[in-house]
Amino acid sequence: MSRQSKAVQQLRQLLRDEKFIIMPCCYDSFSAILINQSGFGVTFMSGFGVSAVRLGMPDTGLISYGEMADQAQHICNVSKIPVICDGDTGYGNPVNIKRTVHGYIRAGAAGIMIEDQVNPKRCGHTTGKDVVDRDTALLRIKAAIEARNEARTNDEDIVIVARTDARAKFGLDEALFRAETFLNLGADIIFVEAPRSKKEMMKIGKLGGCQMANIVEQGTTPVLPPEELETIGYRIAAYPLTLLSAAACAMKKALACLKKGGRPDEILDFKELQSILGFPEYDKTFKRLSR
């Protein structure tokens, strides 16, 4: 069994378990390592985060399929836990979407998220986003599910996360219809992006299936604690920007301190940093093989 197949099995077991899933999001190999070492069971590769650290540009559809697939491979190579990867709009028509799903499987992703925004898409908690019509949205998820089913004939698999941003343009009822239809088509996880109140979140939770909440600090959606999210029907809480924002905040403080000629107080011990990156294991292996 391949490493990717084992990751999918791990993810599916997590989804079957009754325990609520807290899912911090990574954006590069280092953030993925930290999430692994902190004891979480699954992570998500954030498109916002990848666009930020790889391009230094906003999440407005500027990053390509190739860049995202490459980043996914780097992250999956170091992760010992399943990684769900942002597949944006699938990067084209239904045939492109199928290629994207198969490409993410080869990269090692245990899951892929496909959404119904117009391409080029943008961060779901910013203004100016648009969504495709209902038929096109359903066709995208059908294509992703077909690719997943094709993979199963080769003893492979991938978890499909079906996202809708329809709340922003067509209202909550349309978003609920799309999410429920995605679920009926065979999506493994459904994700209604950017509800605007707890009341709306409660309506989403009643849809059933495996529901994911996207918790963006200072975003559109209320930041509810995991216990409350579970009570109203969610199974997963994703935190797409928490690590990126915390890292940026820490780096800005460190740079301000250095600019004044000082040294930052809150930094990792050098030995701890080496340990996180695997220097001790490297040295042991090198010593053993050099005898």
DSSP 89: T
Q: Tokens 């963006």 map to which residue?
A: 216
**Predicted local distance difference test score (pLDDT) of residue 225:** 97
When pLDDT is cut at 50, 70 and 90, the band that residue 29 belongs to is very high
pLDDT tens per residue, range 148-175 = 999 999 999 999 999 999 999 999 999 9
**Predicted local distance difference test score (pLDDT) of residue 107:** 98
Strand pairing class (189-192; 159-164): parallel
DSSP E strands: which ranges in the chain?
21-26, 43-45, 83-86, 111-115, 159-164, 189-192, 212-214, 236-239
Q: Does any domain span residue 136?
A: yes
DSSP 118: P
Q: Does any domain span residue 197?
A: yes
pLDDT tens per residue, range 53-76 = 999 999 999 999 999 999 999 999
Q: How far apart are CA 104 and CA 102, in angstroms?
A: 5
Q: Does any domain span residue 288?
A: no
Query: What's the whole-number mean pLDDT along residues 215-241?
Result: 96
94-128 burial, b if ≥16 CB within 10 A, otherwise e?
bebbbbbbbbbbebbbbbbbbbbbbeebbbbbbee
Percent of the chain beyond pLDDT 70? 100
Sign of the CA dihedral 248, 252, 257, 259?
Answer: positive
Q: Does any domain span residue 273?
A: no
Tally of domains in the chain? 1
Query: What's the whole-number mean pLDDT along residues 130-155?
Result: 97
Q: How far apart are CA 71 and CA 56, in angstroms?
A: 14
**Predicted local distance difference test score (pLDDT) of residue 18:** 84
Structural domain for 16, as ranges: 3-262
Q: Assess whether pLDDT exceeds 90 at residue 146.
A: yes
pLDDT tens per residue, range 68-102 = 999 999 999 999 999 999 999 999 999 999 999 99
pLDDT tens per residue, range 233-290 = 999 999 999 999 999 999 999 999 999 999 999 999 999 999 999 999 999 999 999 9
* CATH (domain of 157): 3.20.20.60
Q: Work out the mean pLDDT of the chain and round it to a whole number.
A: 97
Question: Residue 82 contacts by C-beta under 8 Å, 6 or more apart in sequence?
Answer: 7, 8, 10, 11, 14, 41, 42, 43, 110, 111
pTM of the model: 0.96
Q: Does any domain span residue 280?
A: no
Q: Does any domain span residue 282?
A: no
Query: What's the whole-number mean pLDDT along residues 127-151?
Result: 97
**Predicted local distance difference test score (pLDDT) of residue 1:** 83
Q: Does any domain span residue 251?
A: yes
Q: Does any domain span residue 186?
A: yes
